[in-house]
Amino acid sequence: MIRRTWQAAMIGLARSATAKRFMQSARATSFLRDKYVAGADISAGSARAVALIKGHGIRSSLFFMGEYVDDPALVAETVGHKLTAAEALAAADLDIHVSVDPTQIGQVVTPDEVEGHARTIAGRIGALAGNRQGVHCLMLDMEDASVTDVTIALHDTLQDAGLPVALTLQAYRRRTWDDMVRQVERGSRIRLVKGAFAAGPDLAFQTQREIKANSRRLIDLMLSSEARERGFYPIIATHDTALHEHAIAAARHNGWEPGTYEFEMLLGVREDVARDLAARGERVRLYVPFGRDWWPHAVRRIGENPRNAVLLARSLVT
């Protein structure tokens, strides 16, 4: 209950334009930016991706920040940054893996153009990937419940067109079991997260206990023998070490070799755990945000754990 109230308050702060303007201009908050964000531009993003692979064998998904973008000019600029990210990753000979929120490429302001923008980005990734080894894709993030259907439909359309695309599904949503069954049948690449948005009890599990139980059930489906036979690619995106061990046990039991599935975590959150998994031979990726619009991303991270209140307090008093 405390956790949900805290998370809802931080989601409110993430969406507040006034808080964003204030926090992004305040020098005192810069340590939050430095904790969760690689830097202001693509050179900082790709430099961090290179350092992660060279230092720890950890792959990256680059994310140019921004969410719920309501200015068409900014949508166009964001698409440009996603393309630049793909090119920088290709130039550095890394996985061409770019995460995108549908609301940053027009879902709010020009919904008819979202598919075209997503096709442009995925098409460029596919062209740059050519025959290179690696995991190359446009990864669709999943936002609040109002855009779930359109995000899944977008994924399916791009996938049917043969473009390199992957999709995020959230364990807190009650519908996700059915969505996951469909995606396993399609042999998709799916990133499972717990969910960083709020939704009522009709749509979503409300307690951590229920969300964890659903995560375990979904992981069992994603790492089943049937999913492996269908060419499904599971991505377990959590900092929850009990879920990591659950996934590894399911993988071993059902004949998945390390490297045929992956773990993904966020830059700045429990990176020691990511390094440990990589050292054990698991395929690990970090979500590496870059750009100037860092406040919504950082405050969502604060919202993930009431104990992070101390970080927010520190940013306000220093």
Binding site for ligand FDA (CB under 6 A): 141-142, 168, 170, 193-197, 237-240, 264-266, 269-270, 287, 301, 304-305, 308
- Cβ of residue 269: shortest distance to ligand FDA, in angstroms? 4
Count of residues in the chain: 318
- Smaller CB distance to ligand FDA: residue 208 or 225? 208
Q: Rounded to the nearest 10 degrees, how much is the dihedral formed by the CA atoms of 175, 206, 274, 40?
A: 90
Among residues 217, 275, 285, which one has the least CA distance to residue 247? 217
- Residue 125 vs 265, nearer CB to ligand FDA: 265
CB of 209 to ligand FDA, least distance (A): 11
Backbone phi, psi, residue 307, to 5°? -65, -20
CB of 172 to ligand FDA, least distance (A): 8
User: Of 3 and 230, which has the nearer Cβ to ligand FDA?
Assistant: 3
Residue closer to ligand FDA by CB (options 60, 224) is 60
Cβ neighbours, 10 Å, residue 63: 28
Q: Considering the complex, what minimum distance in angstroms separates the CB of residue 137 from ligand FDA?
A: 13
Q: Smallest distance from the beta carbon of 140 to ligand FDA, in angstroms?
A: 8
Cα–Cα dist 68/90, whole Å: 28
Closest distance to ligand FDA from the beta carbon of 144 (Å): 8
Quick one: which of 283, 234, 196, 273 has its CA closest to 11?
196
Question: How many Cα atoms within 13 Å fall on the side-chain side of residue 75?
Answer: 23
Q: What are phi and psi of 37, to 5 degrees?
A: -130, 140
Task: Report the residue number, 128 or 269, with the smaller CB distance to ligand FDA.
Answer: 269
Q: Which is nearer to ligand FDA, 134 or 230 (CB)?
A: 134
User: What is the Cα–Cα distance from 65 to 37, expressed in whole angstroms?
Assistant: 9
Tokens 């229920």 belong to which residue? 210
